[in-house]
Structure 1
């Protein structure tokens, strides 16, 4: 799909949560470059304002909202920021794990906040923004995940579990919404060169490793793969298993089979009932 087709299918407004830096900021730059209007959301106001100023200087229309996505009112505040605007593309890019601790070594409040941000707010935002897309018969939803979704890992157990939730929810939504013209992508990325990642490495006394993914390239691929959901694994071909034992293509076909079976069982004739 060319840029004009992409804008027609997913425009005119895109809301990007976790937009202030790194991959989120690159999503914003690339969408601004093809004419999208932008709603930029992040917790920290200063980097968000700097990005908005940069994009406005290049002619982009954008508004900003400082929102704590772990808050109980986060989804309502996202809706308030988007009020009166036709959001055809939702990108949920926030959700890194700032804790760096074993489960029992971390305070439960920290895990509550992580789960609220990555699970509850993600679920609620998808529900809120997908409904009007379905009614219009077009739109796109991207949830940026992590290779941690494919297995429990000590030290990031809650984070991995939350990303597994996001993956499975996106796969189900892809099957539900595909017939209605709405595309869904769980974008599973690996270690990416972002300010947040560098800060985490520095805090742990670790040097920046070679081979980190470039944030601009990561964002570019995510946008390109949106029409081909439900999963894209960064650094892997569609039919190549790597992070998981199954490739994105295999997962796609599995979901198609499950969806077909579910549809057959939900049909009244399949239930063997007669009117009485």
Structure 2
């Protein structure tokens, strides 16, 4: 699959400075796709952009944007203006708090919700709407297995990822007839600098069997045309540790769509 031909000349990646975000950027640059790279830290972003422009014949634009700010979407629109963004990859959105609900200031949880829910929602509406009009494009929402249920210390994080999962499934149902692909890429433990920092802060050893960011980027782009869900490490029809397989969730959406035909739901 020629990604540039299928999705267009530009991709926008949030959380692009390291880990899975930078892996997506390197893979897409290798496919000849120009990049808009967004993260909070300017230094790593510039280093990545310099590397990619020196290695590949692509253009890289960077923007240091705090996605937890209510006006983040305005900055994202400004940096992408005039560029046909055919791929939007929402890769930012980990939980930097790592505490129980009552062990940190409430504003930290509000920031997490803004970053993982509101900014993602606004970006999907902005870029997905343009893709719908062009009748081509792709959206990857990088999620977590935490989306399938809460746990101690994960209530807010799990809630935000559950929202993204349902949003992505709904977008897949709406946009598939416009040749726009949508994928919820549901990850498990992944060997990112952020995860290693989290382990180090607790004196925990690095566990075996971590997914590599490079494999995440490769599989995510391979599975994008086959949304709405890919559960990391599982085949499409394999439930494994998840409540439902990806195929079961897809069938559920299609069944709901058929059941609501008489309601004349908007498409």
- Match of 1:192, SS state, is coil
Match of 1:271 in 2: none
Match of 2:4 in 1: 7
Cα displacement string for residues 58-117 of structure 1 (whole angstroms, at most 9, x for unaligned residues): 132111000000011111111111010000000000001011111111210000000000
Hey, what's the Cα distance between the residues in 1 that align with 2:152 and 2:101? 8
Q: Choose the corresponding residue for 2:24, options 7, 23, 27.
A: 27
Hey, what's the Cα distance between the residues in 1 that align with 2:204 and 2:155? 21
TM-score (norm. length: structure 1): 0.94
Q: Which has the larger radius of gyration?
A: 1
Hey, what's the Cα distance between the residues in 1 that align with 2:92 and 2:261? 34
Hey, what's the Cα distance between the residues in 1 that align with 2:160 and 2:14? 17
Match of 1:38 in 2: 35
Q: Alpha carbons of 1:267 and 1:145: their partners in 2 closer, same or farther (altered >3 Å)? A: closer
TM-score (norm. length: structure 2): 0.97
Residue pair 1:87, 1:129 contacting (<8 A) in 2 also: yes
For residues 1-276 of structure 1, the aligned pairs below 5 Å read: 2=1, 4=2, 6-59=3-56, 60-266=58-264
RMSD: 1.2
How far 1:267 sits from its partner (Å)?
6.8
- Match of 2:36, SS state, is strand
Tell me, which stretches of 5 or more residues in structure 2 are unaligned? none
Residue pair 1:150, 1:243 contacting (<8 A) in 2 also: no
- Match of 1:123, SS state, is helix
- Match of 1:200, SS state, is helix
Cα displacement string for residues 230-261 of structure 1 (whole angstroms, at most 9, x for unaligned residues): 00011000000024221000100110111122
Hey, what's the Cα distance between the residues in 2 that align with 1:142 and 1:37? 17
Cα displacement string for residues 166-216 of structure 1 (whole angstroms, at most 9, x for unaligned residues): 000100110011111111111100110011110111011111111111110
Hey, what's the Cα distance between the residues in 1 that align with 2:66 and 2:7? 25
Hey, what's the Cα distance between the residues in 1 that align with 2:240 and 2:113? 26
Q: Alpha carbons of 1:267 and 1:192: their partners in 2 closer, same or farther (altered >3 Å)? A: closer
Report how many aligned residue pairs link the two structures.
265
How far 1:127 sits from its partner (Å)?
0.5
Cα displacement string for residues 19-44 of structure 1 (whole angstroms, at most 9, x for unaligned residues): 00000000000000010000000011
